[in-house]
Copies of this chain bind each other. A is one copy, B any other.
Amino acid sequence: MVNVLITGAAGMVGGKLADRLIQDGAVSDKPIEALTLADIVAPPARQAAGIDISTHAADLADPGVADRLIAGRPQVIFHVAAVTSGEAEADFDKGYRVNLDGMRMLFEAIRRVGHPYCPRLVWTSSIAVFGAPFPEAIPDDFFETPLTSYGTQKAIGELLLADYTRRGVFDGIGIRLPTIVVRPGEPNRAASGFFSGIIREPLVGKEAILPVPDSIRHWHATPRSAVNFLVHAAGLDGATVGARRNITMPGVSVTVAEQIAALRKVAGDRVAERIVRKPDQTIMRIVEGWPRNFAPERAISLGFRAESDFEEIIRIHIEDELGGTWVK
């Protein structure tokens, strides 16, 4: 029986992870006894037979909060809470407070408990730790020179996770998520939002704006894969992972043109024609600094799997979010 904590459980990935764990009733083949869901706003209440689910609305960066969240000594912690890329760039203080100080508060609370408590801690890093210029496909040992405050905070998190793991405070795994598409819900102001928007909006009969050229290549995986990565990481053998605890996840590298071609193939010409080209210099400049492709050999050898092409990414969105249908 294990006790599990998810931070960031009110977010898209954290929420889907909570649903998945409740559905499985187990993590790494161990039945879940208790599930603590925390976020800055209260995560939706959930019910599950046999699992004691509690929800907390609290700021990890506030003194004492992390200690309360680990009061039940969770053996598995998913630290997903973060301020997004756009917000961390717009609000310097908030980004460092949540993405760096909040993380340290959690790590220090675990350290205060001390030996023999040593939970598995799975944390979401990001491909934003890398900064242009890039090779054709970024290898696992590429250096980290982030070009945003968000990427800086994630790169710092990777270093802390590795050092606390080496010290035996917890057994950490950091996973560098691809850009997650297709994000459900309303369009947001994130610079990467259009990668989801040009698929999500046309499928419900709405126009979507494409602010960059068709030739832009990027690295994608579904929300379903993001949850799979987190769950798979929870069960990894630390000794097999070794000292290098932060791992680039697999994904699908496609151009925007290939995204649109896949949408056309899966959903038809009329859907694809709902994409409206409207170049935006600001977004183009941001996106040009982003990674395009990876060679995630370590992740593959450790058993992580993503989608094999962009059509599969679209089909999973239709299946998971649209009940199998769309507006033709």
User: Which residues of A line the B interface, CB within 8 A?
Assistant: 92, 131, 141-147, 149, 152, 155-156, 159-160, 162-163, 166-167, 243-244
Contact = CB atoms under 8 A, between A and B. Distances in A.
6 contacts: A142-B143, A143-B143, A144-B144, A146-B162, A147-B243, A156-B160
**How many copies of this chain are found per oligomer?**
2
A155 B144 CA distance: 10
A92 B142 CA distance: 28
Given A143-B142, A145-B243, A244-B145, A159 B152 contact: yes
For the complex of A and B, the 6 pairs showing the least CB-CB separation, nearest first, are: A152-B163, A143-B143, A152-B159, A156-B156, A141-B143, A155-B159
Nearest to A157: B156
A159 B156 contact: yes
A144 B143 contact: yes
A152 B146 contact: no
Contacts of A243: 131, 145, 147
A190 B133 CA distance: 38
A152 B159 CA distance: 6
Contact of A167 (B149, B155, B163): B149
Contacts of A166: 147
A143 B131 CA distance: 13
A238 to B, nearest CB: 16
Nearest to A169: B92
A107 B135 CA distance: 32
Given A131-B243, A156-B156, A243-B131, A163 B143 contact: no
Contacts of A92: 167
Contacts of A167: 92, 149
A291 to B, nearest CB: 15
Given A92-B167, A131-B243, A152 B144 contact: no
Given A141-B143, A144-B144, 15 more contacts: A131-B243, A142-B143, A143-B143, A143-B144, A145-B243, A145-B244, A146-B162, A146-B163, A149-B167, A152-B160, A152-B163, A155-B159, A156-B156, A156-B159, A159-B159
